[in-house]
Structure 1
Amino acid sequence: MKIKAAYADGTAPELTITEATLAEPQANEVLIKLVATGICHTDTAGRDGQTTPLPAVLGHEGAGIVEKVGQSVTTVRPGDHVVLSFSYCGHCANCLAGHPGMCLHFNELNFGGKNYDGSHRLHLADGRPLSTFFGQSSFATYAVADEHSVVKVTDDVDLRLLGPLGCGIQTGAGTVLNYLNPRADDTIIVFGTGAVGLSAMMAAKLAGMSHIIAVDIFDNRLALAQELGATEAVNSRTEDLATALKAILPQGADYTIDTTGVPTVVKEAVHALRPGGECVALGMGGEVTFNLMDDLLAEAKKISGLVEGDAIPQIFIPQLITYYQQGRFPFDKLIKFFDFDHINDGFVASKNGSVLKPVVTFD
C-alpha cells in the first residue's frame, strides 16, 4: 500500500516526507493506522546515522488503530487502540524471565533496520528498501509491527497522548517502579528534567519516596519538576551542586538517575550516592572515567545501564494509563503537538528544550 513517511538518508539534517510502499503484514504482524508518534532523542541519533542503517523511516513512540492482523495474531484485532513499543524476540532467556528490554536480540531487532523475519516492509517509490526503526517506523501514516511490539490500550483516553508511553515515559517511570522498586522512605536524585527525568520523578512520587531531588540548569524545568513531584530542586549552573545536595541528604541518596549522558554529570550522580547506593544511567553518552576504588568499590556503590525501564510493555503501559486516569501520573503536561508536515519543527523544539515531548499527529 502507498503511505506517507518521513525518512532520513544521511544527506540532510532534516527528515524528508515522501510517498513510500508498505508491504502487507505477515502472520505475526499487525497493520496500524497511526494517529500520533512521539519524538525522542533516540530518533535524533537515528536521523544522524548513529544507530540504524540509512535510509530509514524513524519513529518509535507510535499510537494508532489496528487495521489488519496476521493470521497468527491473537492479542489485538481491527479497531483496537494500540501503543507501539520496542521490539523483542519473546523467546530468549531474558524475555522468558520477564525482562524483554534485556532481550538478547534487542539491538538487531530495534536498530538492525529489518523486520522480525529479517526482511523489509518499507520501500521508496524507486524500490530501494527503507530501514525499519524499533520494529515500527512510526513516522508514517501506517506501520507494520510484530505482535510483540503492539500494546492494546483503553479507548477512553485521547490516543494522541499515548505514544510516548512506548519509550521515553516508560523508560523513566519503569526505571523507578520496575527496576529500583524503592521503599517509601528511600531517596532519589534525578539529573536532567527532560521527559525521561520527569517521568522518573512522577513515578518516585507514586512510590512515596521521601526525597525526590531534581537537578538541571534551567529554572523553568525545575519549577515543572516540583509541580510534578520533586520535593527539592537544584540548579547546578547557579549553585554548588555537591554542597546543595549534601545540605539536603548529608549521607547521600539511595538512588540516582542520570538522563543526560554527559560524562561529568554521570560522575556527579555517582558521587551523590550514599554508601551502597545505586546510579542508573539512562542517557545516551560517551566515555566516563572512574577511579574504581574511590568512586565505587570503597563505598560499595553501583552503576547500572538500563533501557526501556525494565518494562513488559503489555503490562506496564496500561498501568501508566490507569495512573494517568487517576490523576496520579500527569504526563500530558510534557506534550506539545506538531502536525506531521511540520515534523522537523518538533525536532528543533526538542533540541532547544522549548518542548519536553513533541508529538507529531496525522490527519
Structure 2
Amino acid sequence: RPDAIALRCNAQTLTYGELNAQANRRARQLITHGVGPDVLVGLAAERGFDMLVGLLAILKAGGAYVPLDPTYPQDRLAYMMQDSGIRLLLTQAALVDQLPVPEGVQTLLLDADVSAFTDSDPHVVMDAANLAYVIYTSGSTGNPKGTLLPHHNVLRLFEATESWFSFGAQDVWSLFHSYAFDFSVWEIFGALLHGGELLIVPYDISRSPQQFHELLCDAGVTVLNQTPSAFKQLMHEACTDSRSNALRYVVFGGEALDVKSLRPWFERFGDAAPQLINMYGITETTVHVTYRPLSVADLEQDASSPIGEPIADLSWYLLDGDLNPVPKGCIGELYVGRAGLARGYLNRGDLTALRFIPDPFGE
C-alpha cells in the first residue's frame, strides 16, 4: 500500500512509498560511507520526517542507530557519542553547531540533497541477529550504558504479542516519546510493521496535555502509549473534555502504575473501549516483558502495579540471592530470560557478565 499514509506531523503527511524512497536514497549514501551490518551510526534529529527517514536509512544500510536526542544535556550527548565509538553522525543543519561532536566523527546532513542516489531498495546481506539499535539507559546507577538490541528482538516482540492486540493497517499510533527512550521502539515499529499510521507528536505539544489531547482526538489515534505520570495529566483533560476519541488501547510502561489513580478514567470511559493495559519491562528486555489488562475491578484490589503474565517467548523466575526460587508469597528478584534479552552492554563486558547470567533452570 505505497499510497497509504505512513507518517503525519504538523498537518503534513508522508506515504509509505515516499518514506521508503527517501530512506532508500539515504541508505545508499550511508553505504558509500562504509555503513553495513553492526556498524553504529549516530542519529541526532528533531521530531519530524527526517528523524524517521534517517532511522530507517540506517537500518536499510544494515547499520544500527544510536539515538542522540538533541534535547538531552550536552554532557550526556558528548558521553554517548564518545562511548559508542560512532564514526558517522546523521543530523540536521540547524543542529550541527549545537552538538558536541567528537573529533574524527563525520557528519552527514539529513536535509541535504541525495537525489543522485537511486530510490530502489538496497540489497544488504544481513540477518535478524544483527544490531538494530543501541539505546543508552538512564544512567541512574552511574554513567549511561549502551544496550545492544538486534532486529530479532523487535520482530519477536510483535509476533509474541499479536494474539493480544491484533494491530493492523487501520491503527493510528502516536510517537509521543523521545526516540532515545525504548518505548519509542514499540511506537515506531508498532505502526510501521503493521502498515498503520504514525503520528509524530511535536515536542511542545507533548508537553501540553490539553494540546496533546486535542491532537489525539483530531488525528483519530487508536493506540496510545504512556508512562503513568504523563497519562495522569492527559487523563484530566480527557475526563473534562466532551469530545470523543478513537482509542482502542492505552498501553502503560516505563514506570510503576498506581491503578487507583485511574478511577476518573474508568468512571468516564469504562474499561472496555479503550482497553487499558499495563506492560512492564526495561531496555535490556526489549521494551516489554509482561501484559496485564486493567479493569474497574482492579480499583478494589491492593496490588499497586500489577504486571500480569510474561510474554509467551520469555521466561521469568522470582529468585533469592543464591538464585533459588523463593516460596510463594515471599519477596525475591525478577529474572527474565529467553528471546527478548539484549546482546549485552556496549564496551562493558564486566557489567554484561554481571547482569546477563546463565539460566540456572535452562539448558
Same fold (TM over 0.5): no
Larger relative contact order, structure 1 or 2 (CA cutoff 8 Å, min sep 6): 1
TM-score (norm 1): 0.30
TM-score (norm 2): 0.30
